[in-house]
Structure 1
Amino acid sequence: MRITRPRTRAGATTAGATALVAAAMIATPLSTSITAASAHAATPAEAVPAVAGHQLVSGESSPLSIAQCQAKWKIACYTPVQYRQAYNLNPLYKSGVTGKGRTIVIVDSYGSPTVQHDLDVYSKQFGMKSAKVQVKKWGHVPEFDPKNADMTGWAGETTLDVEMAHAVAPDAKIVLVETAVAETEGVTGLPEMMSAEKSLIDHGVGDVITQSFGATENTFPGFDKGDFSSIGKLRYAFKDAARHGVTVLASSGDGGATDSTADGKGYYKKRVNSWPSSDPLVTSIGGTQLHLDAKGNRTAPESVYNDNGAGGGGQSHVFDRPAFQNGEKKVVGNRRGTPDVSMAAAVNGGAWVYSSFDPTAVGWDVSGGTSEASPLFSGIVALADQAAGRRVGDIHKALYTLADRRSSGVVDVNDGTDNSYQGVTGYPAANGYDMATGVGTVDAARFVPALARASRHS
């Protein structure tokens, strides 16, 4: 994966109307079918994230309906109310399972100076109570500059992360960790993120950590020589999380079966994978496309995310197949396969997000990418933590066990094509586990209590 590139934002302009379509991707640009925003890519020497397809545009004054989005931009756009219906979350809320008493940790470079205000506006718009965002700065975080494209890129990612986590687990506490060094391809920025995570874990802060960033495994020092120690030295936070029962999630990326090159300006012409998503201590969250009506009811089965990006997935070149994937040997071979499970990520079916960190683009935007999917799933984990009355911890064993019992709320995704991208052939959606969507997605009303029960025995 790339070393922490925030999911990108891009403007879509049709018939004089301008909207912000943010591809919440692991440094993956949106394709030109939605927008061909001016690319901002940085070389490693500049030590900034390669935020391709990033363009600041004026936001909408209010969210539009699905029909209006389709008429203006040829995409569907969804609200948290519709997401809640689609993922069958409402029965949990009615029973009191709202994430209360649980804490979601979100890690982003720089953060956003308006994150609390923006969450308040977002929540009010959709009839939800807001939540207090506790901000923890790690290191000397520079003052926010709305003219700095790297900072605004991360601010967009931060906004997406916070609002998506809150949409699923409305009563969960949110701790936002803002680091001082931007993550790029390779190691840059990751040590700060990992040390911040370990510190919070050691201090008992957080039940689930969501990471919407990643760096291609191939871009780490020593990779070409078969030396994976540079990744190994960064795993200490995840090992610490396992000891403390903290669940760790990461976006699988938006480059399908490929991912960004070291300079952030292109993609490998072969199948690659990215870290931390590829780490066996991390639950890899892939992407799907929802098909909903105005009430949030499904008009078709969830399908593979492959529009303006594609859900990351494939074999790790660093990690061997972990025990929890032994039942999937025919699919993953002898390597760690990603993703493990998936949530909404397609731009065509993206989420409404409100932001005001850029004074020239205040308003409502539509966002997609697996950096949407990971915070969405962090909300699912927070709900399961509450239902279990304890941290569910590393969910891999429980997840793959539940996937064999379809009545447990794991929903297979075998619709759509595959996650091919940028000319690199991906993996097809298939019955059971596949490296396009993992075990599939979830019906929360069934999955959350099932995960809570299974975690007691894992």
Structure 2
Amino acid sequence: MKNQHLYLSAAIAVALAASPLFAVAQTAASRNPALADINTTEAPRVTQTVDSRAVSTLQRSHLAVVDQTAVTGSMADNAPMNHMHLVLKRSASRQAALDALIAAQHDPSSAKFHQWVTPEQFGDTFGVLDADVAATVSWLQSQGFTVHGVYPNKMQIDFSGTAGTVKRAFHTQMNRYTLNKTSHVANASDISIPSALQNVVVGVAGLNDIHPQPQHVAPRVARFDASSGKFKLTKPTVSAAAGVSPEAIGFTNGARGLVPYDMAKIYAVDQLRSSGLTGSGITIAVVEDNSMVPADWTNFVSQFNLGSYGGTFTQSQPQATGFTNCIDPNIANPGEDDGETLLDAEWSTAMAPGAHIWVASCDDSNSNNFFGGVFTAATNLINGASRPNIISASYGYGEGFTDAPSKTAIDLMWAQADAEGISVFVSSGDSGSNPSFNGGLINSVGIDANAFGTSPNDTVVGGTDTADVLDGTTKKYFAATYNSVYGSALSYVPEIPWNQSCGNEVAAKSLGFASSLAFCKQYLKLDPQGYYLTSEAGSGGPSSVDSKPAWQRQVHNAAKDQSRDVPDVSLFAGSYGGDTYVIVCTAAYPCQPGFTGLISLSGGTSLSSPMFAGIQALIDQGLAAKGLSPNQGNAAPTLYALAADEYGGAKGNPPASLANCSADNGTKGTGKCVFHNITRGSIATQCVQQPPGIVTPDCYFYGSLPASSYGPLQVGLTSTNASKYNINTEAFAAEPGWSFASGLGSVNAQNLFNAWKAFVNVK
């Protein structure tokens, strides 16, 4: 039929209402008191004939970075594009109702406090109307796509096709590009859809394959030296260059390997554990795009004597309702062991040894969604019948490398998790003021924030470093010998932001330099080949997409911007000079009594996030024992409310506790504090520009390397002002109160639990 592209939405809705595709459970709002007074009744918004000849362009539906990137080839029309997501748009009135509900769910004075919803209730109340979903599905099918299903939230449609189908339906070419030295596919331009659907469609998440990076440092293999109590790395991180001074590269006397006992002691988790709070009854899901050998977790628990707490472990692939879009990453390589997954599973257990750890892993290759298997695992969990109490996501990429539909899909997902009571923790990133360059050098995009974490409905965890080595106070905070579970920490250890570059102010002054800039200039002379250039540091920065939530404005020194700023809190991630790591038990390097064999050392904000998830599990168990919900939803609103009491509000003079709770005061000074306020150091790192090439913004250039291992380079430090560099412009310095370097700082878990109980009015 020559008019087959014309569809009447009303007729489609009636015809498809009884289809099994739309057999999503309808849950009456009256079954949940939180929804009883919410009226989101509305008329269908697809009111015109869906005509594929009358189209509208969806702005920012392609990656802006490809506009400045050369095309290396086009995708063949028959190339498969699997499990894309058509992201839907709720009405303004439903969005306002959802925002109001979530605010009430976090308000202890509200009757809706902790009245969480199910995925079906969420979809019925805040999703897109069935008639509008039906019209959209029908159009996709008419274009030749296979529609696998609609999620219970009624905000996502999972569908597959080919590059040719995408080109014809969405009016864009799928091309190949090289970004950050890696080949990727992406749509060359913004997509177009029938104008009749533009009120209910945001766009397609899945038209590029720039999957998120795991936020951990490259694992190091080491051998324990009993005489020194340190781990000797079996291989140097780079080949030493002639003339490179050891002073410039940090410490060479071996690495310290922290264990669960140490972290429990440093963050007062041991105090909660002694009162019976171990995370029992709480499920922590770590979302991954790769799997691990389950026996590694058992080995970790055994090595560090955590088995008596009763924790359990599951690894599985969560599926969407009614269709399969998550496959085991280890199908192709059975027994493969992923360093990121190991770190997440083992170190969430280190903090909450009584919790159930659920490794939810989906392979990237089965999904063209931007965040790949990680997104698939997370969204399937949130829309599933069996949901975790807590999710930890240790992956990320900057907003500058994220298209608008993918970013919207992420934010929609975390808002749904929050409304369901799931606490979500996301790593801030591992490359200073731009999280997109983990393991590399910031070289093309300026200040940015992790797109996976800048939603106002999750909590972003940054990275710290213990300051004892640089301060020369190790004997004060660590015992000379290990105890029976290989621990040596004596108490809380003062912290600084994790920063492995010469931009580390504390390291610069420890080595006798007046400033990090002076240190970096000397570094350049000592390292003429650029072997030790790095952007490795905990990440932080303002969102360019999400606006600042009200709860983030209420604490002393909150950034005076309109952006959702990250991180929110921080925990240990790594150290300057590679002096301190955490121990991970792997299949290749299993933990053995006495560490008689080779061992794997790791770190990064991929460590920080699951550790905070473990602390949240202890709080959840403790509150459940008081008769409250074992779910707390997004932790950030409560954390900022508690921080305002300790640091002071956005206006007025701060209380004495702001200074008293400085991390530099150590245990004696911060013993009564909820937060350890980190006020020294920064996450400003090295950044480079390779002439001729793309200009690197937000970089203060202080020198050049005419013949480095990378070729000719201009070398700088990340700065909010490219023409000058000082403590006011470096990106970013730690400050009293909140800062981009470490958020609110780290926590005393015991004091946090007590303050949380008071906040929710229980004794």
Q: Same fold (TM over 0.5)?
A: yes
Asked if the contact 1:289–1:344 (Cα under 8 Å) also holds between the matched residues in 2, the reply is yes
Task: Give the aligned partner of residue 325 of structure 1.
Answer: 552
Structure 2 residue identity aligned to 1:345: A
Q: Spell out the pairing of 1:312-351 with structure 2 (5 A cutoff).
A: 312-328=539-555, 331-347=559-575, 348-351=579-582
Deviation of the 1:448 alpha carbon: 2.1
What does the per-residue CA deviation read over 1:245-292, in whole Å, with 9 as the maximum and x for residues that have no partner? 110110000111113269x88644411111212111110000001245
Whole-Å separation in 2 of the counterparts to 1:433 and 1:370 = 18
Task: Give the aligned partner of residue 364 of structure 2.
Answer: 181
Whole-Å separation in 1 of the counterparts to 2:425 and 2:223 = 31
What does the per-residue CA deviation read over 1:40-87, in whole Å, with 9 as the maximum and x for residues that have no partner? 963224866668999787564799975445986644321111111111
> Which of 588, 605, 619 is matched with 1:370 structurally?
605
Task: State the secondary structure of the residue aligned to 1:161.
Answer: helix
Task: Give the aligned partner of residue 348 of structure 2.
Answer: 165
Task: Give the aligned partner of residue 499 of structure 2.
Answer: 306
Specify which structure has the bigger relative contact order, considering alpha-carbon pairs within 8 angstroms and separated by 6 or more residues: 1
Whole-Å separation in 2 of the counterparts to 1:57 and 1:177 = 25
Name which of structure 1's ranges 420-429 and 246-255 shifts more when overlaid on structure 2.
420-429
Task: State the secondary structure of the residue aligned to 1:284.
Answer: strand
Q: Spell out the pairing of 1:112-131 with structure 2 (5 A cutoff).
A: 112=292, 114=293, 116-129=294-307, 131=311
Structure 1 residue identity aligned to 2:746: T
Name which of structure 1's ranges 368-377 and 319-328 shifts more when overlaid on structure 2.
319-328
Task: Give the aligned partner of residue 631 of structure 2.
Answer: 391
Structure 2 residue identity aligned to 1:429: A
> Which of 183, 186, 195 is matched with 1:43 structurally?
183
Whole-Å separation in 2 of the counterparts to 1:195 and 1:451 = 28
Which of 1 and 2 has greater Rg?
A: 2
TM-score by length of 2: 0.48
Asked if the contact 2:215–2:430 (Cα under 8 Å) also holds between the matched residues in 1, the reply is no
Residue 402 (structure 1) aligned with residue 595 (structure 2): no
Asked if the contact 1:146–1:357 (Cα under 8 Å) also holds between the matched residues in 2, the reply is no
Asked if the contact 1:163–1:353 (Cα under 8 Å) also holds between the matched residues in 2, the reply is yes
Number of positions where the alignment pairs a residue of Structure 1 with one of Structure 2? 403
What does the per-residue CA deviation read over 1:350-370, in whole Å, with 9 as the maximum and x for residues that have no partner? 2111101689xx952111100
> Which of 230, 239, 242 is matched with 2:406 structurally?
230
Name which of structure 1's ranges 62-71 and 369-378 shifts more when overlaid on structure 2.
62-71
Name which of structure 1's ranges 413-422 and 284-293 shifts more when overlaid on structure 2.
413-422
> Which of 583, 591, 597 is matched with 1:352 structurally?
583
Asked if the contact 1:287–1:437 (Cα under 8 Å) also holds between the matched residues in 2, the reply is yes
Task: Give the aligned partner of residue 433 of structure 1.
Answer: 738
Cα pair distance change 1:59/1:147, threshold 3 Å? farther
Structure 2 residue identity aligned to 1:307: Q
Deviation of the 1:119 alpha carbon: 1.4
> Which of 730, 733, 747 is matched with 1:442 structurally?
747
Residue 209 (structure 1) aligned with residue 503 (structure 2): no
Task: Give the aligned partner of residue 243 of structure 1.
Answer: 419
Task: Give the aligned partner of residue 709 of structure 2.
Answer: none
Task: Give the aligned partner of residue 193 of structure 1.
Answer: 377
Whole-Å separation in 2 of the counterparts to 1:317 and 1:185 = 21
Structure 2 residue identity aligned to 1:167: A
Task: Give the aligned partner of residue 274 of structure 1.
Answer: 450
Whole-Å separation in 1 of the counterparts to 2:638 and 2:212 = 35
| Alignment RMSD | 3.5
Whole-Å separation in 1 of the counterparts to 2:216 and 2:638 = 38
What does the per-residue CA deviation read over 1:143-186, in whole Å, with 9 as the maximum and x for residues that have no partner? 356699xx65xx10000001100000010111110112169995
Task: State the secondary structure of the residue aligned to 1:365.
Answer: strand
For structure 2, list consecutive stretches of 5 or more residues without a partner in the other structure.
1-62, 64-179, 186-208, 234-250, 319-325, 469-476, 480-487, 502-535, 591-596, 625-629, 647-671, 688-716, 720-730
Name which of structure 1's ranges 120-129 and 49-58 shifts more when overlaid on structure 2.
49-58
What does the per-residue CA deviation read over 1:370-395, in whole Å, with 9 as the maximum and x for residues that have no partner? 00000000001000001111222222
Cα pair distance change 1:52/1:441, threshold 3 Å? closer
For structure 1, list consecutive stretches of 5 or more residues without a partner in the other structure.
4-39, 222-227
Asked if the contact 1:185–1:215 (Cα under 8 Å) also holds between the matched residues in 2, the reply is no
Whole-Å separation in 1 of the counterparts to 2:219 and 2:679 = 36
Cα pair distance change 1:61/1:67, threshold 3 Å? closer
